[in-house]
Amino acid sequence: MCGIAGLVDLAGLAASEAEARSRQALDRIRARGPDGEGAWADGRCALVHTRLAIIDLSPLGAQPMTRDGLVITFNGEIFNYADVRDELVRLGHSFRSSSDTEVLLAGWRQWGAKLLPRLVGMFAFAIWDSAAGTLYAARDRFGEKPFTYASSGGRLAFGTDLIACEAMLGETRPVDPAALRALFTLRFVPEPWSIARGVRKLPAGHWLQFNSQGLKVERWYDLAAQRQGNPVDAGDAEAGLRERFDSAVGARLVADVPVGVFLSSGIDSALVAASVAASGARLNTFTVGFEGAGAYYEERPAAAVVARHLGAEHTEIGVSAGRAGEALDAVFLALDEPFADASAVPTFLVSEATRKAVKVVLTGDGADEVFGGYRRYWAELHAGLWNRVPAALRRSFTSMLMRMPEGKDSAILEWVRRARRFASTSDPDPVRRQAAWMRLASEDELDRLLGRAPPHPIVIEGLIGELRAAAPDGDPINAMLACDVGLILPSDMLVKVDRTSMANALETRTPYLDQRVVEAAFAMPGSRKLALVGGRPVGKRVLRTAFRDRLPAEVFDRPKRGFEMPVAAMLNGPAADRLAAATDPAALARQGIFDPGVIAQWRRELADGRRDTSWQLWTVLAFQEWARMHRRPEALD
């Protein structure tokens, strides 16, 4: 994997400007590719690339790469490149290198955008066709690799991230009020928007074309259109899933450098590790844990059980609160826009430590969204029953819960937290119910914090409704999962993993997002993924049954927990000074973005335990630290 950026000016691009812009972009993306860098320009287009060498480590794999009148800058890996290459050889093509990059160039010359459905991989790339005066760009099916762009008139700038894109653009764009409101709704800015006005993310599964006719963005992959018949017999479906999953894992082991596995306490990464072990490949696993934190946040003992069972060479990484605090500058610098998923911090730390041993890791990311693993999915199973309870009783019970303290430091406080969340999100309408589970703040609270909504807001319920309606079938569970695959995955989970791992020059690969695995999962009825069993909600059912012979029974029986950081403890400890600066009432008043009173109330509520507002405050901190680290004009003075 690598870093990419570029600039096209159809009216002509001066060599001095191309050089200056390219140099600034390279400075931003260099950490993603420490093994080499390159720049190319022709008077209308400038392309840059930094290389993390994984396949074909020779200079023949260097980029930007030229072939047959095309020039490419490419970030990612094509796992079936050898098969595509063989097909191209049969059609008369020859190759100088053994890299997947050259296969992309030859494939685009042969098929154009029809190449994209042939690819199995994670990618974002741009190809300049000088003779046609056209730039083409494409992004993988589920958004594993990022692509940010901005166009105006006859110019288009792009980059792996917002900062690289703005470097090529030559300007820093102001914060988009609609995107800022979305950030405080979701903790991230959903694609295709970015935090910067007029800068967009190319959505997952889309490609673009830019030339004298203008800019055209089209979808090339649609999960809903991939509906396939699933074997009626559950055993046949499980056997098919095992075959696809093992094939996906095997494809992601192909590399000319060492490969490891991120191992948590859950079944997702454990099954990846088990598949690697079953293949006979060397198994190196890595786990992170927080020193002195509550049991809720400790992954190491459970991960060690799996590692011993599989005979892995296992590395445990202990992180103190102080070390996590020390890493915050590096984390916020790695994030190109404000991003408030605090698990970015432990992901950065485990990536930092893992990179000392390997260059590539396989992860369990995507399994929760594809196979129904999150607790909010479990709540969906009980929502119908709850909504049949008389409204007066529901209000009375909810009111009682709201007067109780909540938190994650004890089983009772955690139960209250979950019950409060369930009671406050059980709307009879499934779209509003799913939106409520995602919401960080209500519209009323957002109005108080940010002022009235901008003229063209990002309506979360609208996004969710569109994604649910586009699900492969009318199954309500599949509709819910399809929404998360289209919204949470590309804008939250995969952003976190890409930015924090690549800041440490570590490539991550996600077998659960192989399209063959995802399409098989969505061909199944929702009940095979999520259902009540003996009155208890069980997620990822098909994974538990299809792979039950690969891991000890205790692994499948563990309660679900997220890969999280103790946010409240961080805000009250190593990040306390940062939070104080980020929420100083006088500084906030001068900044003129947030209402200081709302933020002060969040601090009081967290301090007295009436409401867990740690995530709201972390979002404030994430915005302020992003603005400070990247020297944005909106930064506090």
Question: What confidence score (pLDDT) does residue 608 get?
Answer: 86
Question: What confidence score (pLDDT) does residue 207 get?
Answer: 98
DSSP 3-state of 48:
strand
3-state secondary structure string, 155-224? EEEEECCHHHHHHHHCCCCCECHHHHHHHHHHCCCCCCECCECCCEECCCCEEEEEECCEEEEEECCCHH
Contact 215, 209 (CB under 8 A): yes
Measure the CA–CA gap between 206 and 186, rounded to whole angstroms. 23
- Six token digits for residue 413: 């406080």
The architecture in CATH of the region 2-221 reads: 4-Layer Sandwich (3.60)
Measure the CA–CA gap between 534 and 536, rounded to whole angstroms. 5
Host H or E run for residue 5: strand 2-9
For 41-92, how does the pLDDT look when each residue is reduced to its tens digit (9 = 90+)?
A: 999 999 999 998 887 778 888 899 999 999 999 999 999 999 999 999 999 9
Contact 168, 159 (CB under 8 A): yes
Measure the CA–CA gap between 344 and 334, rounded to whole angstroms. 10
Question: What confidence score (pLDDT) does residue 436 get?
Answer: 86
DSSP 560: P
- Six token digits for residue 232: 């009626």
Contact 104, 144 (CB under 8 A): no
- Pairing between β-strand 284-290 and β-strand 313-319 as defined by DSSP bridges: parallel
The architecture in CATH of the region 225-372+485-557 reads: 3-Layer(aba) Sandwich (3.40)
For 434-445, how does the pLDDT look when each residue is reduced to its tens digit (9 = 90+)?
A: 898 899 999 999
Window from 9-18, 379-388, 432-441 with minimum mean pLDDT: 379-388
DSSP 3-state of 98:
coil
- Mean pLDDT of the region 276-305: 84
Contact 72, 138 (CB under 8 A): no
Measure the CA–CA gap between 334 and 626, rounded to whole angstroms. 9
| Angular region, 36: left φ>0, alpha ψ -120 to 50, beta rest | left
- Mean pLDDT of the region 437-460: 93
Question: What confidence score (pLDDT) does residue 537 get?
Answer: 80
Question: What confidence score (pLDDT) does residue 231 get?
Answer: 54
Cα–Cα distances in angstroms (integers) from residue 13 to residues 21, 50, 159, 209, in the given order? 11, 22, 17, 19
For 561-579, how does the pLDDT look when each residue is reduced to its tens digit (9 = 90+)?
A: 666 678 988 999 999 999 9
> pTM of the predicted model, to two decimals?
0.92
Picking from 6, 108, 95, the residue whose alpha carbon sits closest to that of residue 58 is: 95
Window from 98-102, 164-168, 402-406, 448-452 with minimum mean pLDDT: 402-406
Residue 230 has pLDDT above 60, yes or no: no
DSSP 3-state of 97:
coil
What is the crossing angle of helices 81-90 and 100-111, to 10°? 50
Q: Please, which residues have CB within 8 angstroms of residue 577's CB and are 6 or more apart in sequence?
A: none
DSSP 55: S
Q: Please, which residues have CB within 8 angstroms of residue 214's CB and are 6 or more apart in sequence?
A: none
Question: What confidence score (pLDDT) does residue 200 get?
Answer: 98
Residue 344 has pLDDT above 70, yes or no: yes
Residues carrying CATH 3.60.20.10, the chain: 2-221
Q: In whole angstroms, what separates CA 417 from the centre of its chain?
A: 26
The better pLDDT of the pair 230, 193 is held by 193
Measure the CA–CA gap between 284 and 298, rounded to whole angstroms. 20
Q: Grade residue 378 by pLDDT with cuts at 50, 70 and 90.
A: confident
The better pLDDT of the pair 366, 62 is held by 366
Residue 225 has pLDDT above 90, yes or no: no
The better pLDDT of the pair 127, 609 is held by 127
Length of the chain: 637
For 16-46, how does the pLDDT look when each residue is reduced to its tens digit (9 = 90+)?
A: 999 999 999 999 999 998 989 999 999 999 9
Residue 365 has pLDDT above 60, yes or no: yes
For 176-196, how does the pLDDT look when each residue is reduced to its tens digit (9 = 90+)?
A: 999 999 999 999 999 999 999
| Cis upstream peptide for 64 (omega within 30°) | yes
- Residue 328 — φ and ψ, nearest 5°? -60, -40
Question: What confidence score (pLDDT) does residue 284 get?
Answer: 93
Q: Grade residue 320 by pLDDT with cuts at 50, 70 and 90.
A: confident
Picking from 547, 222, 123, the residue whose alpha carbon sits closest to that of residue 367 is: 547
Contact 16, 22 (CB under 8 A): no
Residues carrying CATH 3.40.50.620, the chain: 225-372+485-557
Question: What confidence score (pLDDT) does residue 421 get?
Answer: 67
Helices and strands (DSSP H and E) totals, the chain = 29, 19
Q: Grade residue 457 by pLDDT with cuts at 50, 70 and 90.
A: very high
Alpha helices by DSSP H, listed for 266-410, are 267-279, 300-310, 321-326, 328-334, 344-354, 367-371, 375-386, 391-402
Write b or e for each residue in 334-369: b if 16 or more Cβ atoms lie within 10 A of its Cβ, otherwise e: bbbbbbbbbbbbbbbbbbbbbbeebbbbbbbbbbbb
Mean of pLDDT over the chain: 90
Measure the CA–CA gap between 574 and 551, rounded to whole angstroms. 38
Question: What confidence score (pLDDT) does residue 294 get?
Answer: 64
Residue 382 has pLDDT above 70, yes or no: no
Cα–Cα distances in angstroms (integers) from residue 310 to residues 244, 264, 306, 314, 508, in the given order? 21, 14, 6, 10, 21
Q: Which of 26-30, 320-324, 427-431, 436-440 has the highest mean pLDDT?
A: 26-30
Label residue 56 exposed, middle or buried (CB < 10 Å: 0-12, 13-18, 19+). middle
Residue 486 has pLDDT above 60, yes or no: yes
The better pLDDT of the pair 225, 444 is held by 444
CA atoms within 13 A on the CB side of 433: 23
